[in-house]
Chain A
Amino acid sequence: MELKEVLGIRRSIRFFDPERPVEREKVQKILEAMRIASCAVNAHWLRAVVVNRAEIPPEVMAEVTVPVAALVQELAQVHIYCYCDLGIVNRIKGERLRELVDVGALAPSHGWSHKFVDEIVYPQVLKPLTEAPHYPIAAAFDCGGAGTQGLLVAYDEGLGACWTAFEDAPMRKMLEIPDDWIPLYVMNLGYPLESKEAGGQRPRPDFETLYFEGRVGQPFRRDPAVVKDLERDKMFTPPATSPNPERMKEIRELARKLGLPE
């Protein structure tokens, strides 16, 4: 599928086929996509632990699920628990930046050299960054980008997914998570029982309320011709609407099929 089309069909899927396994190679592709994501200072904060839901003991499952997401977690065949490894920067001490210098990704023309990394960037920028209150936020932003890249590959592979929160303590114990990893989200993964449209592209705030040009309050001018291009490229698909009797019928039938409340 073309990238824009994948963006256009991505929806958070909450009804998974609880019986259909997810192929291991598809999970690997998701992880591979995460690994090659854009990454600040080449640090790679994201860590992911793949667990087949069926292998999580019921007593752990009962503790790990959060009320608003327990059903999604229950139905998904595979869970990818994502963490942010906050200790990585002080373990590698600029080593991966030096790699970028070596391969020519970072050039002297932009001020980069081994000496600059060793004497300035790590000790005077990165190390203090790891002590700053906003450090976990910056690192988590990076993880979000990598996670999203994996998420899009899941849809390209015909899977559905939904990020949810999870209770840290039971998974930390079961997965033997190091102390300096902070929990992010779990990617719940499986084959959708919902139709591809899943009720349509979700409602979003108006473009002009989110993105600005020059200064906050001055909306980035949205060109209708660009919107048309994106519709043609299938990045924009029919929006979710209300009322939508077909969607209501679909989710009611799914609830009945799976023995869920209405």
Chain B
Amino acid sequence: MALSGPIAEYESVAGWGRGLSDQWGGDPLAEEPDKLESLASFCEFIGKDPDALLAFCFLRKKDTGERFGSVKRRDQVLQQLRDFRDQCGPDAREARRRVNDVLSFLIHGGVLIHPGMI
């Protein structure tokens, strides 16, 4: 079990919700619960909770402690997303939607990633 509690209670997920609300208005995570479900499925698939997933995408410089996006780790997540998409079932549209939900979580978390890379 990658998740130790309700997914909406993770800090990174709350941040995602704020990002979506700021961008689109309303409360997209509440209005479209499929989004949380997609993220939860992906987290189970990779064995990491959302906070750990987001944290995994960043490293800190040894000398300054400055946080930066790790290209190598992002590429690992990209591959995991491809694998996740491939096991989502025969409905390509539904698979894309689920991947896009995870991408949305990552994008609002500041990870430099988008569907052109999948």
Contact = CB atoms under 8 A, between A and B. Distances in A.
Interface of A: 62, 65, 67-68, 70-71, 73-74, 245, 248, 252, 259-262
Nearest to A70: B116
Interface stretch (B5-13, B51-59, B101-109): B101-109
Interface residues of B, number: 19
14 contacts: A65-B117, A67-B112, A67-B117, A71-B116, A74-B116, A248-B25, A252-B24, A259-B93, A259-B115, A261-B100, A261-B107, A262-B20, A262-B100, A262-B104
Given A248-B24, A248-B25, A259 B96 contact: yes
The 3 closest A-B pairs by CB, nearest first: A70-B116, A261-B103, A261-B100
Contacts of A70: 114, 116-117
Contacts of B112: 67-68
A70 B112 CA distance: 11
Contact of B25 (A65, A73, A245): A245
Interface string B82-118: 0000000000010011001101100100001111110
Contacts of B24: 248, 252, 262
Contacts of A62: 117
Interface residues of chain B: helix, strand, loop or mixed (majority)? helix
B116 to A, nearest CB: 3
A68 B114 CA distance: 8
B23 A261 contact: no
B43 to A, nearest CB: 17
A68 B103 CA distance: 14
A236 B1 CA distance: 57
A71 B107 CA distance: 14
B34 to A, nearest CB: 12
A62 B28 CA distance: 32
A259 B23 CA distance: 18
Nearest to A62: B117
Given A259-B93, A261-B101, A71 B114 contact: yes
Contacts of B28: 262
B38 to A, nearest CB: 11
A105 B57 CA distance: 58
A73 B20 CA distance: 25
B23 A73 contact: no
B107 to A, nearest CB: 6
B115 A71 contact: yes
A83 to B, nearest CB: 23
A260 B24 CA distance: 15
Contacts of A67: 112-114, 117
A245 B24 CA distance: 8
Nearest to B19: A262
A252 B107 CA distance: 15
B106 to A, nearest CB: 9
A8 to B, nearest CB: 27
Contacts of A248: 23-25
A218 B93 CA distance: 58
